A and B are shown apart, each in its own frame.
Chain A
Amino acid sequence: MGVSSISQRAKLGKADLAELYTRHEAGALRLAYLLTRDPHLAQDIVQDAFVRAFGRLGHLRHADAFNSYLRNIVINLTRDHFRHREVERLAVERETSFDHSAPPPAEQMDERDAMWGAMLSLPHRQRTVLVLRYYEDLTEAQTAEVLDCSISAVKSLASRAMKSLRTTMEGPHDL
């Protein structure tokens, strides 16, 4: 039972929470935005993430762990969001003759939009691996820890994600 941690947490005042918030807000927002490309959704996710992180501060062993703790929550909330959205999308498709035609080819969009489209079309875990590896600069081991999977799984996810991006951005003939 976390009696000691409860007592420890009770000592955290509003000033401490505000400081944690100030220090980590921007980073969390960038991460959430890269995973969603929706500024409002990113704000909602980060807000929820802070609420949860603050609510469970007591079981953090070290204050330095807050960033990775918050990061994990952001990733999980983003995953949950897309999971729910997928369920809703499938329901709509079942109910209607939803036109799910393919998006326009990459060459019809500018490179930046094409890149965003390619990123957002990736499965959530693949997209997360890319963001963690190439934006957050986590090692494969650190990424595996965040995603609660093996390093080989991280390699596989990253490889498949890069392959998909290449296919979208260069065309299948280049493979």
Chain B
Amino acid sequence: MTFDEHKLRGFLSQAADEAPDAIADSSRILRRARRYQLFLGATAFAAVSILVGGGVLAAGSLRGDDGPNPLVPAQASESPASPSQSLEPSPSEEPSPQPSQSVPESALLTGNGRIPLGDVSLCPNGDLLESQSTTEDEVISASRAVLESANAPEPDSARLWTLLDPALQAAYGSEEQFAETISSASLDKAFREWEVSDSVTLDAGPVLGQFISDTCGQAVAESIVMGQAYFPEFDGLSGGSAQLYFTVRESGLRFWLLD
């Protein structure tokens, strides 16, 4: 028997007819797609939390404050933010003169150092997870940010699981489901260090601020942008680079830009 392309085409055409006509339980797809969007949104939110929280913490350290920083986890852990806690200061509270103090505590990692669930405490107009999804680039950024936060060279779902706030853990159902999701998430390992540029200004339109404004409301966005304003390096985030993120380590701040 001779074998050629024509024979292969004929085989493939006939073999394709053996394929099932439809997915057995197609009704699950939209539901699963919804859950997947939930995951993407949650992952992006986790990255935003790390970005914003890490930046403010770094800003405090770069300013060289000797006094106690009310935003560091140690102090926050004394009175951890409740998921349902309002962002608005109570009428009895004095307005803080320190710019960093104007950033809502819930925008940072929570007091126990975990990544919070994006709920009403961060997004007064709500529905961050329900109404938002994200682009793949954002997922990559988020994955990497979360990865960096775990100080791991590869996604370690067990380690990441311990970083999640219980409310966010609940969004995944179980650690096994979370591990499955993490293992199947797209993660681009190609990234390079980014040079902070002086040419980008906050007036260019803070992209991250816009994102948070859209999802969390103007008040939260303004508070966060105020935090950025006292940290010049944050201007990079205002330049509109979708793939920019940074992490904070003991050795200092690191900027990255995904290719």
Binding site for B on A (CB under 8 A): 1-3, 5-7, 9-10, 14, 17-18, 21, 25-26, 29-30, 32-34, 37, 39-40, 42-43, 46-48, 50-52, 54-56, 58-59, 80, 111-112, 115-116, 130-131, 134-135, 162, 165-166, 169-170, 174
Contacting pair B211 A3 (CB below 8 A): yes
Find the residue from B12, B132, B138 having the highest chain A CB count within 10 A: B12
Find the residue from B13, B14, B19, B26 having the highest chain A CB count within 10 A: B19
- Of the A-B pairs whose beta carbons lie under 8 Å apart in the complex, a sample of 8, sorted by A's number, is A1-B211, A2-B134, A10-B131, A30-B19, A51-B29, A52-B36, A115-B15, A135-B9
A115 to B138, CA, bound (A): 43
Which residues of chain B are near A116, meaning CB under 8 Å? 15
Given contacts A34-B16, A42-B19, A59-B136, contact A1 B210 (CB under 8 A): yes
A42 to B24, CA, bound (A): 11
B4 CB, nearest partner CB in chain A, Å: 8
Which residues of chain B are near A1, meaning CB under 8 Å? 138, 207-208, 210-211, 240, 242
A138 to B89, CA, bound (A): 61
Contacting pair A2 B242 (CB below 8 A): yes
By beta carbon, the residue of chain A nearest B138 is: A2
Enumerate B228-247 residues with CB–CB distance to A below 8 Å: 240, 242
Judged by a CB distance under 8 angstroms, whether B157 is at the interface is no
Find the residue from A14, A18, A40, A51 having the highest chain B CB count within 10 A: A51
Which residues of chain B are near A174, meaning CB under 8 Å? 2
Judged by a CB distance under 8 angstroms, whether B176 is at the interface is no
Given contacts A2-B134, A3-B211, A33-B18, contact A135 B12 (CB under 8 A): yes
Which residues of chain A are near B110, meaning CB under 8 Å? none
By beta carbon, the residue of chain B nearest A114 is: B1
Contacting pair A47 B28 (CB below 8 A): yes
Contacting pair A115 B20 (CB below 8 A): no
**How many B residues, CB 8 Å from partner?**
47
Which residues of chain B are near A9, meaning CB under 8 Å? 133
**The one of A30, A111, A170 that contacts B2, using a Cβ cutoff of 8 Å:** A170
B84 CB, nearest partner CB in chain A, Å: 26
Judged by a CB distance under 8 angstroms, whether B23 is at the interface is yes
**6 nearest A-B pairs in the assembled complex, by CB-CB distance:** A33-B19, A54-B33, A55-B36, A2-B135, A135-B12, A59-B135
Judged by a CB distance under 8 angstroms, whether B195 is at the interface is no
A10 to B134, CA, bound (A): 10
Which residues of chain A are near B190, meaning CB under 8 Å? none
Which residues of chain A are near B250, meaning CB under 8 Å? none
A42 CB, nearest partner CB in chain B, Å: 6
A118 to B28, CA, bound (A): 34
Given contacts A29-B23, A42-B20, A47-B29, contact A55 B133 (CB under 8 A): yes
Contacting pair A6 B134 (CB below 8 A): yes
A9 to B12, CA, bound (A): 36
A17 to B30, CA, bound (A): 8
Which residues of chain A are near B24, meaning CB under 8 Å? 40, 43
By beta carbon, the residue of chain B nearest A52 is: B36
Given contacts A2-B135, A33-B18, contact A47 B36 (CB under 8 A): no
A146 CB, nearest partner CB in chain B, Å: 16
**The one of A39, A112, A165 that contacts B3, using a Cβ cutoff of 8 Å:** A165
14 extra interface residue pairs, beta carbon distance < 8 Å, beyond A1-B207, A42-B20: A2-B134, A21-B26, A26-B19, A33-B15, A51-B29, A51-B32, A54-B30, A55-B36, A55-B39, A56-B139, A80-B184, A115-B15, A135-B16, A162-B5
